[in-house]
Amino acid sequence: MRPEDRDHAKVINNIKTSHATVERIAQWLVSKGYPTIITPTNYANTYEERLNCVDKGDLYISTEQGSLRVEVKQLGTTFTCKDDWKFKDQAIVCAKHSFDKASPTPYLYILVSADKVHAMFVYSSTKDHWIPKQFKDSRYENMTQYFYVCPTEHILFGRIDG
């Protein structure tokens, strides 16, 4: 099996395991008064088909501004605030191509701490401050890509457990 095929299988598995976090955030948003809809997830069967299987977001919240797209990312590190965030001055928001091609554009990224008690909130309105940087994704064998990175001064940190 090729490295990209093994990586694709890992990506699919990571997407499937992220559903619990998306559901947790949806429940939290509802508890805060935001009507919320979780969107269906489609999976590409092969690595070659991956770019033809782009989703429309993790969930949507209804506001006076209309229906707004929210992306949820489960992180593998635990943090409570900017002071104990291990990367101190920046955080990866998302893969650059996923934001650039997103329709509709996400309103908000919620980056969830490994303990599912705290999160970072990165509004797309801060996009002018994001920096494209290339990284190798350590979760995979052969995946290097550009990500948008946001300076932590433009990120809100908060609790999501109540």
Which CATH number fits the domain that encloses residue 72? 3.40.1350.10
pTM for the whole thing?
A: 0.89
Our count of domains for the chain comes to 1
Residue 104 has pLDDT above 80, yes or no: yes
Give residue 59's domain range. 3-159
pLDDT (tens digit, 9 = 90+) per residue, 59-70? Answer: 999 998 899 999
Residue 150 has pLDDT above 80, yes or no: yes
pLDDT at 114: 95
pLDDT at 73: 95
Task: Please state, in angstroms and rounded to a whole number, the distance separating the CA atoms of residues 27 and 21.
Answer: 10
**Cα–Cα distances in angstroms (integers) from residue 7 to residues 25, 43, 56, 84, 103, in the given order:** 27, 14, 22, 30, 25
What proportion of the chain, given as a percentage, has pLDDT over 70? 92
Band of residue 51 on the pLDDT scale cut at 50, 70, 90: low
**Range from 17-21, 89-93, 103-107 carrying the lowest mean pLDDT:** 17-21
More confident residue, 111 or 46: 111
Residue 162 has pLDDT above 70, yes or no: no
